[in-house]
Structure 1
Amino acid sequence: MSRAITLTATVVEVTDYCTKQKIAISVIEPLPFGGTRVVLNNLPDADTLRRGMKARLIGTPVARSSLYVSRMQTPYQA
């Protein structure tokens, strides 16, 4: 399994869900053609997010923007 997850949800939807579930996000980025890529701090949190947003998982490879800076200036804390 991986800590990285791609979803057909907006960044706001993902961060709201993670806040409610007390899941800490390592990196989050919008995808150029819609959706969000999120990397969580640990595998149990990644499994929780996968189960909770099961209907919104993207199972195929996605294109990421080469111009997007994936490191956040201040880390997101749940």
Structure 2
Amino acid sequence: MSRALNIKASQADIVATCAKRNIGISAIEALASGGTRVVMNNAEDTATIAKSYGSKVIAGEVTRVATRLNRAW
């Protein structure tokens, strides 16, 4: 199982949920298509959060926001 999840929830909500369950977050970002992409530290934690959010977990492809700018040097 991947450590990444796409969830129909705000970053603040996901951070609060993970803190409540003492689950570490490796990376988190807003999605251009709506929702949040979150990467947990391990697959077990990912499964716990996926179960917690249930139908709010986004299946399929999503549009991510570019996080780095390409520069011509």
Deviation track 1:22-55 (CA, whole Å, cap 9, x = no partner) reads 1100000001121000000001100000111112
Which residue pairs with 2:54 in the alignment?
54
Task: Map residues 1-78 of structure 1 onto 2, 5 A cutoff.
Answer: 1-66=1-66, 68=67
* TM-score where L is the length of structure 2: 0.88
CA distance in 1, matches of 2:47, 2:63: 23
Gaps of 5+ in 2: 69-73
Partner SS state of residue 28, structure 2: strand
Give 1:31's aligned amino acid.
Answer: L
Coordinate RMSD, CA, aligned: 0.9
CA distance in 2, matches of 1:16, 1:65: 22
- The alignment-based identity, stated in percent, is 38
Gaps of 5+ in 1: 70-78
Which residue pairs with 2:71 in the alignment?
none
Q: Rg bigger for which structure?
A: 2
Give 1:15's aligned amino acid.
Answer: V
* TM-score where L is the length of structure 1: 0.83
